[in-house]
Structures are given as structure tokens and as C-alpha cells.
Amino acid sequence: MEKMASHIVGYPRMGPKRELKFALESFWDGKSSAEDLEKVATDLRASIWKQMADAGIKYIPSNTFSYYDQVLDTSAMLGAVPERYSWTGGEIGFSTYFSMARGNATVPAMEMTKWFDTNYHFIVPELGPNTNFSYSSHKAVNEYKEAKALGVDTVPVLVGPVSYLLLSKPAKGVENSFALLSLLSSILPVYKEVIAELKAAGATWIQFDEPTLVLDLDSHQLAAFSAAYTELESALSGLNVLIETYFADIPAESYKTLTSLNSVTAYGFDLIRGAKTLDLIKSAGFPSGKYLFAGVVDGRNIWADDLAASLTTLESLEAIVGKDKLVVSTSCSLMHTAVDLAYFAANAAAQASRRSSPRVTNEEVQKAAAALKGSDHRRATNVSARLDAQQKKLNLPVLPTTTIGSFPQTVELRRVRREYKAKKISEEEYISAIKEEISKVVKIQEELDIDVLVHGEPERNDMVEYFGEQLSGFAFTANGWVQSYGSRCVKPPIIYGDVSRPNPMTVFWSKLAQSMTSRPMKGMLTGPVTILNWSFVRNDQPRFETCYQIALAIKKEVEDLEAGGIQVIQIDEAALREGLPLRKAEHAFYLDWAVHSFRITNCGVQDTTQIHTHMCYSNFNDIIHSIINMDADVITIENSRSDEKLLSVFREGVKYGAGIGPGVYDIHSPRIPSTEEIADRVNKMLAVLDTNILWVNPDCGLKTRKYNEVKPALANMVSAAKLIRTQLASAKKMASHIVGYPRMGPKRELKFALESFWDGKSSAEDLEKVATDLRASIWKQMADAGIKYIPSNTFSYYDQVLDTTAMLGAVPERYSWTGGEIGFSTYFSMARGNATVPAMEMTKWFDTNYHFIVPELGPNTKFSYSSHKAVNEYKEAKALGVDTVPVLVGPVSYLLLSKPAKGVEKSFALLSLLSSILPVYKEVIAELKAAGATWIQFDEPTLVLDLDSHQLAAFSAAYTELESALSGLNVLIETYFADIPAESYKTLTSLNSVTAYGFDLIRGAKTLDLIKSAGFPSGKYLFAGVVDGRNIWADDLAASLTTLESLEAIVGKDKLVVSTSCSLMHTAVDLVNETKLDNEIKSWLAFAAQKVVEVNALAKALAGQKDEAYFAANAAAQASRRSSPRVTNEEVQKAAAALRGSDHRRATNVSARLDTQQKKLNLPVLPTTTIGSFPQTVELRRVRREYKAKKISEDEYVSAIKEEISKVVKIQEELDIDVLVHGEPERNDMVEYFGEQLSGFAFTANGWVQSYGSRCVKPPIIYGDVSRPNAMTVFWSKMAQSMTSRPMKGMLTGPVTILNWSFVRNDQPRFETCYQIALAIKKEVEDLEAGGIQVIQIDEAALREGLPLRKAEHAFYLDWAVHSFRITNCGVQDTTQIHTHMCYSNFNDIIHSIINMDADVITIENSRSDEKLLSVFREGVKYGAGIGPGVYDIHSPRIPSTEEIADRINKMLAVLDTNILWVNPDCGLKTRKYTEVKPALTNMVSAAKLIRTQLASAKC
């Protein structure tokens, strides 16, 4: 006989006696095998299919069985396994499957949330643009075949592709705004494979569950359904396709979309919770020839169907769709109801019996519930005042710890309850056993030092059933189990009548538990909305009326608990959110009566009684205002498994004044979280929640766990709370910050590791180990010093701008990078060049002696996230227990510091690339957020420059675009090196996404006035850079404290953070390593390590914790320095003062001087020379070191240096260089060498500062007036000249460079110190001339770098700087040729000042900056002196060819006269090796000769 047109949407999986539950738990506990589990599952499926077949069901579902949940099954089918589970492909087995569901020992589970508005839960898919989908679970096909082998032809059921994506979330590290529906085209190929296999196996029907169609969908989402089923149309050809919807009415637009799908044969609708769909079918019509699967039998409740009413509905539908197209179905899967009740055997007599039964109605209850109307039942005192009153009584610590209620339900405990219920043990025996269990739970909590205790609920089998058993109007089943998630089952009570509380339900046990401890003991209740939503509720009156009745019953219990001495009462509303209707239009009504019901329960308690509630496993963000409206004193809420989703609502500005405990670890996984992991979660919470309202607790009750999981997890939770309390106690005293820290290490550990690696003497792992150790040491040092905001990602293997280039994947094509994570090979090739291609340009970092690699960008530059350094270093610090502030070079400054790539027009608008780089920044930000970062620092130092409106607009655009990505982070924009202009300040302080601003108040002292005059944004942080990051002088703490106090009055005490003026990388590392400095000078100094202490001392003083002894010592040192006779030399001051009134220009003009000099020097066209230094070999360094240590005599030292000079002279003569140098073998550094021989200078042993890459300098300290007691270079220059007949340059460092490359005294204007140095160098120049040196080079390598950042200050600086240079050589004869040298900067904007220096010859960096210098001459600037733009880059090991150099010379000759052009390298050769220097210079000389020949031929 043909079966009737009947259908079941789905069926319970657990089995009538929870067979699957016990099989799963046995397997998870390792007590049974995978085969045992599969056998139970196979038997259950066979039983279900047979039951439906025997009942005559025509359309029997398959693939509705699941070991955990159907959405997780779909993730497995699609191979959508998050990376953290280390799945390597192939068919997904139990290990990976259950790791995703439950976590494992090393990684947490995926998020779990409610399935629509049910009490069932599902595992939320984590997807992103990089998710790789593949057919990885054949479960659907296998189960279809399995049923078929049993003689049952089934309808395979799949979660539909669109609902799957709509129920997913962006994976960690993926922007929350990521369009999940964009993955549709990626998952449909897998669906096609499944469909093909089902067709091949003989399937004729297929069911797609698309329950999201009942939600409020927009047009884009609806279009996805059309796109999906159009794409699947060909694959589905030959199959009957049913799309099943349930849980609510289907909206008209969704109905229209659904019924227009060509590939679909049938539609399933829930006509119980979606009764309006019936009207829609009647009004909108039904597609001809299609099937209607009419869900008239309730799949979510246990009440017998009213068959007469259902039949009437079906008959009305039959008239519309036709008899042969109407299928009787359930409203949804029957998994939401109990397993074995006769749904189809109800009759009219039973319906009538129920309506008339006196057991259903209680008039007294109905009157009490009716009397509730007219009051909102809110407690009279506001929550803030109540919390204060409660704290006085409870005296809890900051971040109080508690648990949610239940403790593990052991086998023994269940046995006791079972035997008591069966009357196998007496009441006395039962009470004794439960009392013993409560005592154990109390003792465990006290030993763990938990603050607010629970009794563990050993007397309860279930949090709803326990109360239902003691309330009137409830009935209970023996085996009415319903799956909640995984193996977790609940046995919902049946509410059949009016509800009341005959007797107290929990008071006895709560009072017993409180008597065992002096700590607060929570009374534990289940709230009315949760009892309602987790029961099978009567359907003969509105749900809210039943809820009000339950609320009145719980109210009586609350009042009895309070009378019994219970000070903390928890009323769980775990299911409040899950009852929220699926359609937004119905939300307000539900939330009104649900929240009202909760308030009814506790409206009569005293202010000192603390009311808690708990909610779990759902998305609470959309009902946060209703949660606030509940007016609980404390809410504990699921959080950890949902990626702290809850916290985002507070990041977005919602203010929450009550206590709140977002869960710190997932109790539904056996995994034990570490103290550090929990502390990280707490810190994330503290970023958005006030300390005084935050509680620390697990996600949920512990009944499903074991004691060997619970104890260590709670121990770690308490340890984390205590750790954060300690940190908070410190943080309150120390609102302190360091912008950045030196990278090289106190003894240049990174320098030596880098050079060893570059030389092939050590491995990448060796280099990384040194770097890792240095970073750990730096972070620990700052943490130990009490710094609150510790930076990470300020470490670099070369420089931070190059790191940003790597992060953005902005690698010039010439380095042949093919993508992926950028490694050392590409990174160092960009920085240093390699055998085949030159390095990128290097230039000065603002007005410092630090250098950076200039990004080369253009319209075709492809940006991609290619270096995860920032995130990795944040995680690295975090693993060490240090929560840092990751630092990134800001996107706008990065572009403003870049240059157009080769072949790109110089006029190319680099800021046009902003929209191209911001997506990478967003990826980095997302990963930092996912890693737990709560602060982020963007360095935007270009804000202190003179920017135009277009450039300022870029900042607004950038941070507006990043605003969504930055949501939840505290954002600091750090500026430094100068005052911030008013317009820039206005732009900066108007950025919505920014939390804090960092200003340099040392070199930008005027910013203080700007803050006072222009005001400071309310609620924002000011990171006040009062400790000098660019000098080594001890801070004047008293003066800084005065500045800070004036700022405190403007920005507020809690918003002021003490900081350094800039990164401390511009100062030396640690004064502790200076053993040779005398104590007086040492007392005046503070290196980076000491500045960290100064910052913290100021922060403590500001917080009222002033270290009086430390401040007194500082004041004494300041006074000592001011009064010391070592600082002042009156004779020097008089000489410097006498300089005024003359410009010290040589009497003869440069053209005439050059003619005179040429007659004497007789140099060829395009004379060749080098800049000064030659390679500093290991042997040479050893000689100097041993002489300094007095291990060799002066005679031995002079002999060794003389031998080196002789070698250098011989090399140059062999190479046929025209004007020679002696190679400077006696010099360790071009500034330190002179400083050691001048008065007013002090020197360090380890005061190294990074210049670029591994290059470090050890700046002298100018502490007093400067003079030259004796000649400094004359001996060596005369010796070198005696070795050759060619001109030998005397080599000096100019006064401006000595000034700019020293740590300069800050007690007089810099120009006064510079004039003093100029007079000292003047004496040396005159002595060299007197000694027969005809060519004297006075290097001013650093003149450009000292140029102020603001144009208004340029003229004054250039006037005294150029004047200082002229002073040095104003007295020499016309025949003495004065050279100068400048390196690594942009000189074009000071070319007229360079001309004004009046040198005879200038050699200048050029090759690495794309001959930028030459452009100024192309633009018409006339230069009459000799000039030698560098022809090759000495900072790269690469050896340029003769042709390459000749090409450069020809470019120069296109804009410069032949008779003034010199040929030379970019800079000195000390950092190179002879194996590099000799061939490079050979090619340079060959190129010069080649061009000379060509020029000579051209004349002929």
C-alpha cells in the first residue's frame, strides 16, 4: 500500500534512554573505543528509521543524527576546520571533530551558541577569506546508504549553504565586517560533490534546512539564496528539492524569494510558531506544481496535537496547493521534544479534559498575577548606591572571585539522589550525604581562596526540574530527555497549570552551607523566564502570564532566603535571551515582560542583599539595554567561548554600572586554562569595564565537569585574579609609558649577532635567539620598574620603517620576492643590497642621527600582509607575562616618509596609496585584538611637520577608515621631536577612534601652551613626554612634576600618563655599565634604563607616592651641575662672544681660489678621491684597544698605525686615486676621536647608540665649555703626506657635526656650544696648513640633520650652523683647498646654505637617493665650487661596475660643469672590507678615466 504523504523534519538523536549520551561520555573518558561509539550510533539510527517506516511516514529524514550538532557536521563536511586544530586534510575523524566541539589539552573549543530561540546549542563556524573548503566528511552520503541498506529510502538532510554562512562568524584575525556570504562560491562546489554522491547512491529527494529564512533578512542576504540555488540548479537536476524553514513566520519578501527558486520542488513551513504563514500562502498564492510540507504538528512541545484543528488547517491548504502536493509534517525537528510520546494519538476528549480540569486553574494565583499590573517592580535605590551598601557589608576584594553555582555531579552523588527518590535510603541518610558533599565543596572553595562561595547544588538533578518538582502546576517525565548540546541532555518539566510555591525550596540547604563558612554563600535560584523557557509550557494561556506566576513563586523564595541570613542571592536567567522572538518586531513585548518578571522576584529585598543573575551561551549584545534594565546588582555571563563577543558592546560605548562577571574560561571543554590565559581575558575586560564592577568567574556551572578538571581550573582563575589585583595596585600608582627602547643591547649584543649572521658565521636561529633574549630582557626591565604601558614591536633587526615595509609587503621588484612571510634574505637585501641589486635609499630619521630605509612606492605597488612581527612580538611578551602596547609606524607617516619608486613620476601622490595600505593595517589590528591587545600605539611623528590641509585630511581619512577595526582598542597616537602645530593638534584631537595623544614636551615645549589655550578633549588620555628621550641628562624631576601638575588640572588625574619625549633608542642604554665616568658627571646623567626609573618616579609622585629620597638626590645633582667649575671656562666664553659682528667669510671668491689651488695641485679633470676612512680591521681595533688599556707602548702603537697608513696610501697610489686620505686608522669614531682631545667632553665605555642597521656610535657628552688644548690630527696628517707626492687630505670633523652627534649640554643654547667647537677646529685647521697640508676636509655630515623640523626655525639654525663652518677655515690661504662632506639626507632644500658655507669642494651622498641631489642643479641652481656627488653606495657590500659608475658620472655631467666635478664614493669606507673596497675603487677610477677619455675625444 502506498504510504501517506507524511514527513518528519528531524528526530531526537540521544535515544529513548540517552544511549548516545552515555556512549559519548564513555568514549570521551577513554573507557570505550570509537568502534563502540559508532555501534551505538548505528543501532540508534536503525531504530529511528524503522520506527518511522513502521509508522507509515513517507518522507523519512537521514543525516539528522549527529555526534554533537548538525552545524558542526556541516563544518566537517566542508572541511572548515580552524587552523588551531592542526588538521592536515582527509576525512575528518573524531579527534578533530570533538576538538572543535570541546577543545583539547592545548587549544580551546569553538564558540557555542543557541540554535535560534531554542535550548539547543550549536558550534559556530569560524570562517574567513583564507578558509580552504574541501569535501571532508561523507556522513550525509554514508547515512543515506546505511538507511537504504536497511530497506528505508530516506530524504538526506543538509544544513543549507546560505543558513550555514549566516550562522557563521569571522574567524580570529578576520575583520568583524568580513562578508561571510562572499564565501558562497567557495562552499557550493562541496555541496555539489555531496549532491552528486547522493544522486549516485539513489537519492530522489534532498532536504535543505534554511531556517534563517524566517529572520529579518535584507535584500543582499535574500539575493544569496537566489544565487546559491541557481548555482546548484544543474547539480540538483533529477532530484526533488525540499527547503525547510521553521521556528517562526516566513516574511513576505523571504517567501517571495523562496517560491521563485527554479531548482526547488517543495517548501516546508512551521505553521505552529509561524501561523501567519498560512495567511501569506492564501494571500500571495502558492507556486503551481510545487509541494507544501505543512508543519502542523508541534515539534517543540509535548502537548497532544489538536487533530481536529490541524485537519481543518490542512483542508484549507489542500484547496490551495492540491491534494497530491500537500504533505503533513512536523513544525520543526522533533529533536526539541521528548522521544516516546504518542503525538498522533491525542483525541478531542483529551483536549476537553485538559480544558476543564481543576488541576489547571488556581484562582488565587491568577489574582496575584493580575495584581502585578501597574508597577515596574524596580528596587527603590539605584544600583550604584546598593553596591556601596553591599560592599560595606561583604568587604570583597577588587575583582572578587566566585563560581556560577553547581559543582561536579559525581556518580556517588547521583546514586544518593536516585536511592532517596526510590526510598531506598532514609531522609536522614540523604541529608547526611548531601551535607557531606556541601562541606567538601565549601572546603575546596576556601582552600582555593574563592571570595563568594556556592554550596555546589548536590541536592539538584537539574536547575529547572529541581524547582518544578516543588512548585504546583508542574508534571514530570521519567525519560523525557531532550538534547541541549553534545551529550548534555535536559528533562524539561511540563507546566500544565497555574504555578505557586507551597513551601521553601532552597532555604534549608543554603542556610546549612552558610553555617559552614564565614565567607558569603550564594543562595542559588533559577529565574522565572528560564524556568518558563526550559519547560514544556502550557499552550492554553499567554506565556507571559505563566512567567508572572513563576516570578511570584520565586519572589517568596528570595524573601525567605534573605530572612534566613543569605546576603547574596543568585537568580539565574540563563535562558532569557534564547526566548527572544526571531523577528525584531516582537522583541520589545517579550523583553518587557521577561525583564519585568525578573524584577518581580527581588523587588522587596534590602539594599544590603546582593542580587546576582547569570546568563549563558548566546549573543547578548542586542539585548544589553534590557539586561541593564533587569536591575540586578551583579550579572555573570558567558563570554570566553564566544571570543569575548559580549565585551564589544562595552567597547562601543554602552555604560554598565552594576557588577559584571563575563566568564573567564569555558566550562564545556575539559581543557584547563592557564593562569596567564585567564589573566589575559581579565585584562581584556578591564580595557572596557571599570575595575570596581568586574567579577572573575567561569562561564557557567561546573556540574558536567570532573573534580580533576575543576580544581586546577579554579586555582588558575583565582591566581589570575590575584595577579591582576597586584598589577592594578601597581598601575594605580604608576600611569607610566615608554615610547620605545634601545634595541642593540647594553653591550651591542644585536650588532655582533647581526654582523656574525651577515658574515655567514652564525645561523638565523642564532640571530633570532639573541633578539629574543634582548626583547625579553627589555620587557622584564620595564615591567620590574613598574611601567604600565610597555611598548612592543619597537625592536628591529634594521629599522622600524623597513619593518613596516615588510609588514605591508611593499618590496621593490628588483629583490625578486615572490610573496609569503618576508624572511631575512629579502629583508636584508632591501636594507643592504646584495651581489646583484643595490639597497634601498637610506636617509635620516627626522633631525636625529638615526637612519631609516626609505620605502619605494608607486601606483603598481601590491600591498599584502607579509610580516607578522608586530603580532608575534606582542604574543612573545604576553607569554612572558608582560602585556604590552604594540607599536606601529602610522599609515600616514609611513606614506609621507616614502618616495616614488624608480620609474614613477616624482609628482606621484603617495597619499593616494592610503586606501591600499589600510586593509593590511586592519589585518594586523585584528590579529592584535585576537591576541589580546587592549592598547595600540601608532607613531605619527610627521604630525609635527608643516603639513598642508591635504596631508592633514589624510590623517582624518585614515583613522576614520580604521575606526571600526580599532573598536575595542585603546588607541594612542604618538608624536615627537617638535611642537605640534595648531592645525595638526586640531586634526589629531578630533579623531574619534583615538583614545590618547603622546606629545614631546622637551623639544615641543610650546605644545604645553597649545594644550592650555586650545583645550584638551574630555575623557582622552594625555601621554606627556616630559623625560628627554634624546639626551643623557638626568631629568629635573621637580620641574617635570610642576609641568605634570599643571597638565593634571587640564586633563584630569586619571587621564594623565607620564612618558618619554620620544623613543629612548636615541640615547645610551644603561648607566650601570659606565665604570670609568667620574661620580660627579655620572650623577648628572640618566641613560635609557635610568629614564625608565625617572618616568615611574614621576608617575608615582603624581599619584601621591613620591619617593622623597630619590627626588632629593635628583635635586642635589641638578644643583651640583649648575655650580660645578668644570662646566664654565670664561676665556672660551669671551672668545665665542667676540665672534659676533663678522661673517668669517674668506676674502677671495671660490672661483678664484679654485684657479689658484689648481695651479698648485695640478689635478686632472674629474679628480678622484675618497671621503676619509678606510676599513677598520679587527687587528686595527685590537691595536687601539690595547693602547687604550696600556697593554702596548706608545711607540708600538705609533708603529702599528704608521704601518696601516702606509698600506692605505700604497693602495690608493696603486689604484691611481688623485687626492689621497690616510684612512683614519687612529680613530674609533669621527666625533669621539675629537671629543677625547677637546676640553668640556666626557666619554662613556658602553654609551652606544644605533645609527643604522648594526652601525652604532658612542656620542661624546658635552658637559662644559669647549676648547682645544693641543693639536689633534697634525701628527698623523704630516706623517701620511710624507709617504706620497700626491695631495693628502687633512681630515677633520666640523663643529656642527660634532655638536649634532654628541649629547649636548642643555644649560645653554646649542649655537653657543657650536661656536666654541668652531674655534677649536679653527686652530686645528691653521696648524694643518702650517704643517704643509694643502687639502683639508672639514666634514659636516650632520649639518642637514640638525635642521629644525619646522620651516619657521630653519633660517636661524642655518645662519649659525653655516657661520660655525666658515669660522673654522676663514683664516687659511687661497691655495689651501677646503673640502667638506655631507651624507645621507635630503639637501635640496638647503642648497643655498651649502653654497653659503663657501667650501672649495663639497662631497655629498647621492647614489643611494636616486641622484636626488642632481635635481636641484637641473632646476637651475648655479654651483661654482667643486662638487663630488657620491658615485656608489658604501653602505652596501655590493660592488658597482665601471659602467654603472660611468653612467652616474654622465648623469652628473648633464647638470654640472666638467671643471668642478669630483669622483668619489658616497661616504667613508670604515664599515666595509678590503675585499669590497679595492674592486669598487678600482671601478670608480676606471670610470673616471673612461669619461676623461670620452671628454677628450669630444673636444677633438
List, by residue number, the catalytic residues: 1435
d(CA 1236, CA 1242): 7
* Strand, coil or helix: 208: strand
CA angle, 642 then 647 then 651, to 5°: 145
851 sits in which H/E element: strand 851-853
- Cα–chain center distance at 1056: 23
DSSP character string of 613-651? EEE-SS--GGGHHHHHHT--SEEEE--GGGTTHHHHHHH
**DSSP state letter for 1169:** B
d(CA 613, CA 376): 18
d(CA 228, CA 235): 11
Longest C-alpha distance within the chain, in Å?
A: 131
d(CA 1434, CA 1274): 27
1409 grid coordinates: 637617493
d(CA 1449, CA 1166): 9
Strand order from edge to edge, sheet including 60-62: 60-62, 154-159, 205-209, 240-244, 266-270, 291-297, 326-330
Contact residues for 996 (Cβ-Cβ < 8 A; gap 6+): 970, 971, 972, 973, 1020, 1021, 1022, 1023, 1057
395 grid coordinates: 568587604
> Which pairing describes strands 488-490 and 482-485: parallel, antiparallel, or unpaired?
antiparallel
Q: For residues 12 and 47, is the Cβ–Cβ distance under 8 A?
A: no
d(CA 1053, CA 1021): 10
685 grid coordinates: 575586560
* Cα-trace Rg, the chain: 40
The length of the chain in residues reads 1500
Residue with cell 677610477: 1485
Contact residues for 302 (Cβ-Cβ < 8 A; gap 6+): 337, 338, 341, 480, 494, 536
Alpha-carbon torsion 689, 691, 692, 698, what sign? positive
Q: For residues 847 and 1346, is the Cβ–Cβ distance under 8 A?
A: yes
d(CA 508, CA 511): 5
d(CA 388, CA 384): 6
Contact residues for 861 (Cβ-Cβ < 8 A; gap 6+): 810, 901, 913, 916
* Strand, coil or helix: 61: strand
Q: For residues 508 and 497, is the Cβ–Cβ distance under 8 A?
A: no
**Residues paired with residue 500 on neighbouring β-strands, in sequence order:** 472
DSSP character string of 1399-1428? -SEEEE--GGGTTTTHHHHHTT----SEEE
Closest by alpha carbon to 1272, among 1332, 1226, 1312? 1226
168 grid coordinates: 557563521
CA angle, 1103 then 1105 then 1110, to 5°: 125
1347 grid coordinates: 635642521
- Burial class of residue 289 in the structure, from the number of CB atoms within 10 Å of its CB (0-12 exposed, 13-18 middle, 19+ buried): exposed
**DSSP state letter for 910:** G
In three-state form (DSSP H/G/I as H, E/B as E, the rest C), the secondary structure along 427-460 is: HHHHHHHHHHHHHHHHHHHHHHCCCEECCECCCC
